[in-house]
A = this chain, B = another copy of it.
Amino acid sequence: MTPNDTYTRLANNHISVDCVVMGWDGERLSVLLVSRHGEGEEYSDMKLPGSLIYQDEDLDQAAARVLKELTGLENAGLRQYKAYGSKNRTKDPRDVIWLERAQKIHVERIVTIAYIAFVKLDRSVTGCLDGYNALWRPVDEVGPLAFDHNLILSEALGQMRTMASADPALLFDLLPRKFTLAQMRTLFETVYDRKVDVRNFHKKVGAMTYVVPLDEYQQGVAHRAARFYKFDRKAYNRQRR
């Protein structure tokens, strides 16, 4: 192969990071998306928060920077989980045009490194979006996204299951600081996509020394007020050791 052949065959690559940030509002799993607007042609759609990396930053730094720039969210605990590099990622001309206009570069191929994070949907997280084109959308109401972001999101859900199986503490990142067992059970049902028997669930939780009952109960509810629990990370680490 001549030098020229090699050069032609090598990809003109750009590298981006994309962030799948999951939040839980007590009932449903949501994902953080940003709006994208087309100029000239009229369209407006959504994508995962993501952008190209800079020369002077590492991948993890790029993911944290991009998430903050696009959504205001910081310290989300982003973890890298997969690189997406199909040559078909940029097959939709709309995506390429949008990106070339936004970044003012010629784009052929973009390999993106996907990050995942789990946050509590409390005021610190929902309030930070003010002034950004970002919003939380329930995972089961997400429509068509730009690039291959629907694929990235669906694989992120599988990744969440794998990560939670290896380290259940992760699910408590999603739950409020004080939660009811009903909330905890609903989250488990959502993450593992299956019904959980209430009695069995309470028995299992009873064996978790790190799920600690509080002397606090729900207030102003029509049904019988449920007790609040909290997650004790030190006890968790002891039990898991």
Contacts and interface: CB of A to CB of B under 8 A. Distances in A.
Interface string A101-128: 0011100110101000000000000000
A54 B10 contact: yes
Contact of A11 (B10, B54, B83, B109): B54
A191 interface: no
Interface in A1-32: 3, 6-15
A42 interface: no
Contact of A3 (B14, B56, B58, B104): B104
A52 interface: yes
Contact of A113 (B7, B54, B83): B83
A162 interface: yes
A14 B13 contact: yes
Contacts of A108: 55
Copies assembled:
2
Nearest to A111: B15
Contacts of A180: none
A84 B58 CA distance: 9
A58 B85 contact: yes
A87 B57 contact: yes
Contacts of A52: 10-11
Contacts of A12: 55
B105 A6 contact: yes
Contacts of A58: 85-87
Nearest to A10: B52
Interface string A27-66: 0000000000000000000000000111111110010000
A104 B6 contact: yes
Nearest to A3: B104
Contacts of A105: 6-7, 10
Interface string A75-90: 0000010111111000
9 contacts: A6-B103, A9-B54, A9-B55, A10-B54, A15-B85, A56-B87, A58-B86, A58-B87, A162-B166
Interface of A: 3, 6-15, 52-59, 62, 80, 82-87, 103-105, 108-109, 111, 113, 162, 165-166
